[in-house]
Amino acid sequence: MNNNISTTGTTNSSSSTTNKDILSSSIKSILVIHGGNKQICIDSRDLAKEFGRPHKNVLPILDGLLADGTISWLESKPRKYIKLGREYRCFELNKAGFLKAMPFIGGKKSREGQKRLVDAFMDLEIKLDRQSKEREKLSCQVARLTGKGSRSILTDAIQQFIVYAKDSGSRNADKYFTIITNLAHNTLVILEPKVTEARELMTAIQLSHLGTIELTAAEVLTMGMSSGVPYKEIYQRIKGALAGFSAIRVNILGGGYDA
């Protein structure tokens, strides 16, 4: 009997921990890290959702805070998004903007939302700081210089591929630059939370792996074009070639550190 009670308690505890981890991960996934300036930001739509308020009611509050100078334009950037074919506005707030706006948002989940988001910001800051220190190492500086070569080779190959695809009748060939670049990054790292300029956050080990991935993609592009393979098939071959790197895939802020 005691064993059954003990087992049940352990299972409930484990389940509770797992649920908390999932909840924490879902909160962090709505934040955005900009690799270029190492800033963590949040979209006003996600802020409204976490606080339990309609986004349309949050916008006037942010407008007022910007108008009276409580929040500066350095702490908040106007953004646009498309929904059902219509364009709407929103804001992207950095940590300072978020902390200043937070007391004025209100909402039925304001207390819970504040705690969850502040915890998420702080946790990501710790990881971002650790990643930044890792990137200060000589090994990372060398990897960044080496990586410029592989990135340049892939960039040239993609540009040639775009022309190749256009000559074959593609109307959206220009999109391949972003598509193939993102494919290379997503092959190596899990971009959670959302990340822009991911290369600026990578460690020496991650940059080394990325260089190999970029050279692999460039080789597949070059060989496919020289053999006259249809452009759509070439792209599928890139995906197939990069699938072999899935074993080394880690979270952008969660792995790939030197010993």
Residue 246: pLDDT over 50: yes
Give residues with Cβ within 8 angstroms of 194, minimum separation 6. 29, 30, 31, 32, 33
Q: Comparing C-alpha atoms, which of 98, 49, 103, 50 is closest to residue 75?
A: 98
% the chain with pLDDT above 90: 49
168 touches 241 (CB < 8 A): no
Question: What strands, in cross-sheet order, belong to the sheet with 194-196?
Answer: 76-83, 86-94, 39-43, 31-34, 194-196
Tokens standing for residue 43: 């979209």
Q: What is the pLDDT of residue 20?
A: 47
Containing H/E element for 104? helix 95-105
CB of 235 closer than 8 Å to CB of 176: yes
CB 164 within 8 A of CB 233: no
Task: Indicate whether this model's pTM tops 0.85.
Answer: no
Count helices and strands (H / E) in the chain. 9, 7
* The pLDDT of residue 2 is above 70: no
Classify residue 115 by burial, with Cβ atoms within 10 Å: 0-12, 13-18, 19+. Answer: exposed
In which residue are the tokens 């050279």 written? 215
- Calculate mean pLDDT across residues 141-152: 70
Give the pLDDT confidence score for residue 31 in this predicted structure.
Answer: 86
What was the pLDDT predicted at 8?
A: 43
* Rounded distance between C-alpha atoms, residue 112 and residue 92, angstroms: 21
152-176 burial: b if 16+ Cβ within 10 Å, else e: ebbeebbeebbebbeeeebeebeeb
pLDDT of residue 9: 46
The predicted structure's pLDDT at residue 198: 79
Q: How confident is the model at residue 135 (pLDDT cuts 50, 70, 90)?
A: low
Rounded to an integer, the average pLDDT of 173-189 is 92
